Chains A and B, each alone.
Chain A
Amino acid sequence: MLNLAVEQALNGLQLGVTLFLLAAGLTLIFGIMGVINIAHGSLYMIGAFFCAATLAATKSFLLALLAGIGGAALAGMLMEMLVMRRLYARDHLDQVLATFGLSLCVNEAFSIVFGQRPLYVDIPPWLAGSVEVVAGVPYPTYRLAIVVVGLLVALGLYLLISHTRIGMLVRAGSTHRDMVRALGVDVRLLYTLVFGLGALLAGLAGLMAGPVYTVQVGMGEQILILTFVVVVIGGLGSIRGAFLAAMIVGLVDTALRAFVPPWLKTFMEASAADALGGGLSSLGIYLLMALVLLVKPRGLLPAHG
């Protein structure tokens, strides 16, 4: 029982950091530019596909990593320069529709190039196998590595935003946009870079998730909606909130998936219990979101005030 709990907690953390990488980019972009990006899930997919395709072509994990991260960041910056830039002054509905259109477009382009069949990605050999986190609980090394990388990135993001000059501009840009512009900062460039950073984080999440889940068209949208839940629970525009909420959502979702179906099986038929349990446990985090909204409509750690 304890073993199972430890294992599930680690799985929860792994989902949590993946969600954090996505939510951080989404909430950063919203906090600074005031835009909502439905195509954020496409960037996650781009990271995963570029990494998988490069790995298949070159067999080099380093190149695949660079292709995944770089591809997503470039795609993000391109997206910003071609489309998003024209939407900053518009209302959120226009932003939603344009980025919805973008995500349809990108998804279809990937299904033309790569087809509908899912790709499977190998785990690098030096991360295959498992380690004992707690005595007697073997856990896949690769999944553990995701957790470590995710936490390191979270730390790096914290240092970047609260202790560097760029971070200072980012923080200033989110609260006093016009003042930053008046002080002579190239806001256009700053925006493109922030968008690129958000895209890079999404791409990193996507390429790391590749070997765990399957790489296929539409993978981004499923997790995007979970990311929205995270952002709403954490408080829109707040990176600290996104971290806290991502961890909570990751742990709660994983725990429900692990424990609800077996519990249903104690009084139901096995196949029906699996189906219903799967459905009920995916409801859990939405109910959590509803609960948070009842108590704190602006999220757990709202960005301003």
Chain B
Amino acid sequence: MAETRALRALGLIVLVALLALPAVAHFAKDPAWISLVTRMLIYAIAAVSLDLILGYGGLACFGHAAFYGLGGYTVAILFHHARSSEVLWGLIPGSTQFLVTVPAAMLVGGVVAAAIGALSLRTAGVQFLMITLAFAQMLFFLFSSIATYGGNDGMTVRRRNEMPGLDLRDDTVFYYLVLALLLLALWAGRRLVRSRFGMVIGGIRQNERRMAAIGIDTYRYKLAAFVIAGMGGALAGALMVNHARFVSPDMMHWTKSGEFMVMVILGGAASLIGPVLGAVTLVGLEDLLGQIPKWGEHRMFAIGAILVLVVLFGKGGLWGWIARRLSRGGDG
């Protein structure tokens, strides 16, 4: 039991550090830290949602960036129409309200995930991976070709969304909002994986045939998990566009899907907290390597090499390593 106590203590320390971060950053006169950590936390939301299908469900989805990008585009397009007061397809008025745009983004992500999932889940394994990648690439090309929304270049979103009672344009306020949403996502994810639904998803990963044999319609469960993950990805995208005030097809690029997968596996799949660690590590590493003068732009070389080594010689990701360390400490 020393293990769980150590973990709780560690979690509490991290949480206090995250809560204190804006104050520390202001004190150190380095507010760029807030922006960096906000980015980490947003990627963490995307990675946690991917963990649901990738880690718990064992479905190798290589297209998570599609939902991330769709979430981002939903916010940006609603903003665009609110600004120009044109009504989209004669039906949908624009909006700049956070409480409207973000649920809308999640809705779009969920609906598209249902369509892509319904087709992709007819296959499994490597084919599933290739198909999710291909569909994500399809959306990438689609958004690259819509000139109204910036085509290849993307478009800027001049202002963050508004929320009654909160000034989201303040980076500190936005940071706390993102942190709260990540904690909410972690809590919801934990509830989900420990529920009957989560048990079924885990059972499907271990032996789908056996789950089907006891009378469970595995396709519907997998599809539901896929839709939930898609909504999580869209939430992260919506937050990122609010944070960066910019959207472009690059959000849907296949390397972004790859990065999300890396975050999950690097941090430790099927643990929820692992993907958070993975996101923090990967974003931090990219930022750190990017600051090296002259060679910084070639940081992907080092990241690629590290990735290969971690996959070859690492087991269970960062979280697995920490958990092993803690349990060993608990014994002695």
Chain B hits for A97, CB < 8 A:
261-262, 265, 307, 311
Per the 8 Å Cβ criterion, residues 211-266 of A in contact with B are: 221, 225, 228-229, 231-232, 236
Chain A hits for B301, CB < 8 A:
104-105, 108-109, 112
Per the 8 Å Cβ criterion, residues 121-169 of B in contact with A are: 122-123, 125-127, 129-131, 133-135, 137-138, 141-142, 144-147, 151
Q: What is the 8 Å Cβ interface bit string for chain A, positions 86-129, against chain B (1 contact, 0 not)?
A: 11000011101110111111111101100000000000000000
Q: Specify which of A83, A278, A286, A297 lies most central, judged by the most chain B CB atoms within 10 Å of its CB.
A: A286
| A102 closest partner in B (C-beta) | B308
A295 to B308, CA, bound (A): 38
B142 touches A279 (CB 8 A): yes
When the two chains form the complex, which single residue of B125, B127, B137, B147 contacts A225, counting CB atoms closer than 8 Å? B137
A298 to B128, CA, bound (A): 11
| B120 closest partner in A (C-beta) | A293
A297 touches B123 (CB 8 A): yes
**A294 on the B face (CB < 8 A):** yes
Chain A hits for B145, CB < 8 A:
275-276, 278-280, 282
Chain A hits for B26, CB < 8 A:
none
Chain A hits for B134, CB < 8 A:
225, 228-229, 232, 286, 289
Q: What is the predominant secondary structure among interface residues of chain B facing chain A?
A: helix
Chain A interface bracket (under 10, 10 to 19, 20 to 34, 35 or more): 35 or more
| B116 closest partner in A (C-beta) | A290
When the two chains form the complex, which single residue of B122, B130, B147 contacts A231, counting CB atoms closer than 8 Å? B130
A93 to B306, CA, bound (A): 16
A232 touches B265 (CB 8 A): no
A92 touches B125 (CB 8 A): yes
**A283 on the B face (CB < 8 A):** yes
| A97 closest partner in B (C-beta) | B311
A100 to B304, CA, bound (A): 8
Chain B hits for A283, CB < 8 A:
138, 141-142
Q: Specify which of A102, A111, A232 lies most central, judged by the most chain B CB atoms within 10 Å of its CB.
A: A232
**B119 on the A face (CB < 8 A):** yes
User: Nearest chain B CB to A187's CB is how many angstroms away?
Assistant: 20
When the two chains form the complex, which single residue of A232, A276, A280 contacts B147, counting CB atoms closer than 8 Å? A276
User: Nearest chain A CB to B252's CB is how many angstroms away?
Assistant: 12
Per the 8 Å Cβ criterion, residues 260-313 of B in contact with A are: 261-262, 265, 269, 298, 300-301, 303-308, 311-312
Chain B interface bracket (under 10, 10 to 19, 20 to 34, 35 or more): 35 or more
When the two chains form the complex, which single residue of A83, A86, A104, A236 contacts B126, counting CB atoms closer than 8 Å? A236
Chain B hits for A278, CB < 8 A:
145
B262 touches A279 (CB 8 A): no
B130 touches A232 (CB 8 A): yes
Chain B hits for A166, CB < 8 A:
none
What would be 28 A-B contacts, judged by CB atoms less than 8 Å apart? A36-B126, A36-B130, A87-B312, A92-B60, A92-B129, A97-B262, A98-B308, A98-B311, A101-B307, A104-B300, A105-B300, A105-B305, A108-B301, A225-B134, A225-B254, A228-B130, A228-B133, A232-B123, A275-B151, A276-B146, A282-B138, A282-B141, A286-B134, A293-B119, A293-B120, A293-B123, A293-B131, A297-B122
**Ranked 3 nearest A-B pairs via Cβ:** A279-B145, A101-B307, A104-B304
Residues of A within 8 A of B (CB): 30, 36, 38, 83, 86-87, 92-94, 96-98, 100-109, 111-112, 221, 225, 228-229, 231-232, 236, 271-272, 275-276, 278-280, 282-283, 286, 289-290, 293-294, 297-299
Extra pairs beyond A100-B258, A271-B147 (13, CB < 8 Å): A36-B126, A92-B129, A93-B60, A93-B269, A97-B261, A98-B311, A101-B311, A108-B298, A228-B130, A231-B130, A286-B135, A293-B123, A293-B131
